[in-house]
Amino acid sequence: MQHDWLIDVLTDLKAFAEANGMGASATAIDDATLVMLAEMTSLSHRADQAGSAVGDHDGQTGSVTYLFAGRGHA
């Protein structure tokens, strides 16, 4: 993925939050990372499909609901 550096930045922010006793922030950054990964995967998948409209979603690729289901947020 061409935007992997964004995940690196979020990882650094999460490490800072954890090292400084900011548990809620670390959890929120973890959630943001999952959302970003889902969206990046979805965008990559759509770019690979010829003729797909940008707003289309297949209901599976990059499913944020699926990612959060195990965390009790869905």
Three-state secondary-structure class, residue 20: coil
pLDDT at 41 over 50: yes
pTM for the whole structure: 0.61
Candidates 56, 15, 51, 45; CA nearest to 33 is 15
CB 40 within 8 A of CB 34: no
Distance set, CA 3 to CA 21, 30, 44, 63, 65 (Å): 28, 17, 11, 19, 22
Dump pLDDT digits (tens) for 2-25: 778 999 999 999 999 999 999 999
